[in-house]
Amino acid sequence: MRTLTDGTVEIGSVLPELAIELTPTVVVSTALATMDFTSLHHDVEAARAQGSRDIFLNILTTMGLVERYVTDWAGPEAMIKRINVKLGVPAYAGDRLCFNGTLVSQAEGDYTVEVRGKVSLGDHATGMVTFALPWAAR
């Protein structure tokens, strides 16, 4: 995998969609991987008892997936500098999380991608991710 270079990056570039099937195994394993033992992320009955439809992704997993989405496109040497994401509806087990994004700006060697992660209920995560490429890192 190659990292983007200045000659290949254009404002307005649309990132390819990333779709992730949120199986119960994905939801539970990512919660455990982030050491989040809150029952809402691994125990269906406990989640329902607290008013939730099902278990759902935790915040750390969502942020990791947002970062992955951008770095899968930008390349392994891209350095994430800022993530500013607003959470929306829950991403429940059994749903599909689809990420889309657009490169919206470049300033002083930093690039910013507008990212949207949607599930069947609507926007799960929306925001901006700013990164630097190796030749622009400060």
30 conformational bin, left if phi > 0, alpha if psi -120 to 50, beta if neither:
alpha
Task: Please give the model's pTM, rounded to 2 decimal places.
Answer: 0.90
Give per-residue pLDDT as tens, 28-80.
999 999 998 989 999 999 999 999 999 999 999 999 999 999 999 999 999 99
Q: Could you state, in order of their start, the residue ranges of all structural domains in the chain?
A: 6-136
Domain range 6-136, CATH class? alpha beta
Residue 138 has pLDDT above 60, yes or no: no
Confidence of residue 93 (pLDDT cuts 50, 70, 90): very high
Yes or no: say if 27 and 56 are a contact pair by the CB < 8 Å rule: yes
CA dist 123 and 95 (Å) reads 13
